[in-house]
Amino acid sequence: MDFKTIIGLFAAFCTTFAFLPQLIKVWKNKHAKDISLRMYIMFISGIILWFVYGVLISSLPVIIANSVTFILASIILVFKIKYG
C-alpha cells in the first residue's frame, strides 16, 4: 500500500467515524427533531455518487469511506424519520 492510499484511508476513517457521536446521541435520546431531513437526503445522495465515483476510479479509500458513511448516515436518517 502506498503513502497516498494510507493518507486517504486515514482521512476516510476520520471523516466517516465523525458520524458516530451523532448516531449514538440520536439513538440514546430517541430524538432527532433538530436534524435536517433535507440535508441528510442530499448528503446520502452525494455519498452514493462518491461511492460510484470511487468504483469508477478504483479508489479503495473512497469506496470504503463512502460505504461506511452511507450506512451510518442512513441509520441517522431512519431515526430522523422515526423520531423526528
Taken in order of first residue, the domains within the chain and their CATH numbers are 3-83 (1.20.1280.290)
> Does position 84 have pLDDT exceeding 80, yes or no?
no
pLDDT, one tens digit per residue, over 60-78 is 889 999 999 999 999 999 9
Burial 3-36 (b: 16+ CB within 10 A, else e): eeeeebeeebeeebeebeebbeebeeeeebeebe
Q: What is the pLDDT of residue 82?
A: 87
Cα-flanking dihedrals φ and ψ of residue 2, to 5°?
Answer: -85, 170
The stretch 44-62 carries a mean pLDDT of 94
* Cell numbers standing for residue 56: 469508477
Which H or E run includes 39?
helix 37-57
pLDDT, one tens digit per residue, over 7-46 is 988 888 898 888 889 889 989 988 888 888 899 899 999 9
pTM listed for this prediction: 0.80
For residue 73, count CB atoms less than 10 angstroms from its CB and return exposed for 0-12, middle for 13-18, buried for 19 or more.
Answer: buried
